[in-house]
Amino acid sequence: MTRKKHIIIIHGRSTKPQQSIKQTLVNNALINGIQRINKKMAKAIEVGDVKVTVVYYGDILNQILVENRPELKKELVWIPDNWYVPDNTYNKPLQKLIKRPLEKHTKEDYDRLIEKQEIIKFGDDLATIASPFLSLIGITQKVINNLLPDLGSYLTSRVVGSQIRERLQPILRESLLANDDIALISHSMGCMVSYDVLWKFSRMSEYKDLWEKKISLWMTLGNPLGEPAVKKSLYDSNEPNDGMYPTNIMNWSNIRAVDDFIAHDGDIKDDFHQMLERNLIGSISDEPD
């Protein structure tokens, strides 16, 4: 019997539009992106032969960010009972990218873009000296929340952490039990959420029915898991050596950006090499090489 293919996508930090809008944006980006390299697969996603689920926790992030930075209300809209990024905010930028020919997405084009974006360039230069995540080591919860309130809440609040993980857990659990062929795609803070959930499912006794279940692919984008301060905050950070790392990932593909100042330690293989040495995972790759 052919296993059902299931792509599960979990977004990152910062303010977000409503769930339905986020779902539409992600689906459009995914289908149009895959269509550039594999029209048959893009069609399979479009007609539902490949299931796509977007794990959304933007409402939780928005609430945390507005509570900590009330000035954000000027950029957001009130839709009972929360603040959200306006519905049409990302439409034009996404359409511009979709219409841009694949041959225009070159390294030279990218380098020219970065040179024009002084804020990005400055952020990258600054990150080379001290990554924002590294600055979280040994400082108070108050300072963490002032820097990145949404991330700080996930790292330091069990209530918030549980609320966010609960958005992924039932979806991933159901798919694992159905023996789906799963690709989990995680961005930024979503990488931390995914790692913690994967560890729980493969290590904790209350999830014993999932211990033998694995995802085929974990793809991480803008991944902060290589940052020392983040590693110290993961679910398995205080575990003895034999309890560290999830055991339910077949292949891990980490897509990094050279200029990513949020996750500046873009290479993952060197940080999680013990997973390979202990045969806990089939492969770990950092792309591009």
- pLDDT at residue 124, rounded to an integer: 41
3-state SS string for 41-101: HHHHHHCCCCEEEEECCHHHHHHHHHHHCHHHHHHCEEECCEEECCCCCCHHHHHHHHHCC
Which of the four pLDDT bands, split at 50, 70 and 90, describes residue 8?
Answer: very high
Q: Averaged over 13-29, what is the pLDDT?
A: 95
Q: For 205-252, what is each residue's pLDDT tens digit?
A: 999 999 999 999 999 998 989 887 788 889 999 999 899 999 999 999
- pLDDT at residue 10, rounded to an integer: 98
**How does the average pLDDT of the chain come out, rounded?**
86
Token pair recorded at residue 81? 């009972």
142 — alpha (psi -120 to 50), left (phi > 0) or beta?
A: alpha
For residue 142, is pLDDT > 60? no
- pLDDT at residue 160, rounded to an integer: 96
Which of the four pLDDT bands, split at 50, 70 and 90, describes residue 121?
Answer: very low
For residue 166, is pLDDT > 90? yes
Q: For 58-79, what is each residue's pLDDT tens digit?
A: 999 999 999 999 999 999 999 9
Nearest to 45 by CA among 27, 62, 61: 27
Q: How far apart are CA 146 and CA 184, in angstroms?
A: 30
Select, from the ranges 178-187, 232-241, 262-271, the one with the highest average predicted confidence (pLDDT): 178-187
Question: Which has the higher per-residue pLDDT, 158 or 104?
Answer: 158
Q: Averaged over 13-26, what is the pLDDT?
A: 95
Q: Which residues are within 8 A (CB) of 144 and not within 5 positions of it... i.e. 6 or more apart?
A: 136, 151, 152, 155, 156
Residue ranges of the domains in the chain?
Answer: 5-287
N-to-C CA span, the chain? 36
- pLDDT at residue 267, rounded to an integer: 83
Residue with tokens 């769930």: 19
Our CA angle for 21, 156, 266, nearest 5°, is 65
- pLDDT at residue 102, rounded to an integer: 78
- pLDDT at residue 111, rounded to an integer: 73
Which of the four pLDDT bands, split at 50, 70 and 90, describes residue 138?
Answer: very low
Per-residue b or e along 126-144, where b marks 16 or more CB atoms closer than 10 Å to that residue's CB = ebeeebbbeebeeeeeeeb
